[in-house]
Amino acid sequence: QKEVEQNSGPLSVPEGAIASLNCTYSDRGSQSFFWYRQYSGKSPELIMSIYSNGDKEDGRFTAQLNKASQYVSLLIRDSQPSDSATYLCAVVGGNTPLVFGKGTRLSVIA
Amino acid sequence: DAGVIQSPRHEVTEMGQEVTLRCKPISGHNSLFWYRQTMMRGLELLIYFNNNVPIDDSGMPEDRFSAKMPNASFSTLKIQPSEPRDSAVYFCASGDRATDTQYFGPGTRLTVL
């Protein structure tokens, strides 16, 4: 059973701070890693993808991947109240499609 | 591109009735996924297709659920007969196998009374 684990939260951060979201996965053969954002009542929205070890930056978002530790994280700089949502980590294994974690609820306090 | 289109957006039906959910994927994508999301169980993969061929339906809860993809631009998920425990949001996602990325439709909120 391939698993993706996330802290369910809620994670509360003040406006302007850095929010750090973490995810671990069980399948060592995993090759593609994604972060989705889901607002309440809406569908998941792809915000970041990362395929190799290291950091990938896109605007205020940075995804970090460490395959040796089977760990992927998402940093959100200068957090805004509009970033308040559930963040889903998703992983693609060798022969499996996307496996989702249960999500971390982020609350940015103005 | 209009993105993934799902219909209906909301469906309220009575137990025992047949329910058909529809999905139009993004043009050029070669994978299609059906998910169900509930508060208790999170996002569950029901079935997925590559190039219109069903690859894995192990997530389909029982024989009451069936899915088809007759062509690259259309898929259906059918529940017959429906039960109250089927109440959930059902998402269709369109996938690009070259990058493993998936893009979700707006979902269908199903309520079975």
Residues A47-97 pLDDT 10s: 999 999 999 999 999 999 999 999 999 999 999 999 999 999 999 986 778
**Cis peptide bond N-terminal to B8, omega within 30:** yes
CA distances from A104 to A3, A39, A107 (A): 15, 12, 10
Nearest-by-Cβ selection for A103 from B42, B91, B102: B42
Encoding tokens for residue B89?
Answer: 């949001």
CA distances from A26 to A2, A31, A50, A86 (A): 6, 12, 17, 21
Indicate whether A2 pLDDT > 90: no
Q: Render pLDDT for B44-90 as a digit per residue (tens, 0 to 9).
A: 999 999 999 999 999 998 899 999 999 999 999 999 999 999 999 99
Give the position of tokens 């959910």.
B21
Share of chain A above pLDDT 90, in %: 85
Indicate whether B3 pLDDT > 90: yes
Helix (H) / strand (E) element for A88: namely strand A85-92
- Residue A27 vs residue B110, higher pLDDT: B110
Name the band, by pLDDT with cuts 50, 70 and 90, for residue A1.
low
Q: Determine the residue among B94, B96, B100, B101 to mutate to test chain A binding: the one whose Cβ has the most chain A Cβ atoms within 10 Å.
A: B100
**Cis peptide bond N-terminal to A44, omega within 30:** no
Segment A48-57 long-range contacts (CB within 8 Å, at least 24 positions apart): A48/A74, A49/B99, A49/B100, A49/B101
Q: Taking CB atoms and an 8 Å cutoff, what residues of chain A touch B45? A: 97-99
pLDDT at residue A36, as a whole number: 98
Q: Taking CB atoms and an 8 Å cutoff, what residues of chain B touch A98? A: 33, 45, 100, 102
* Range of weakest confidence among A30-34, B58-62, B89-93: B58-62
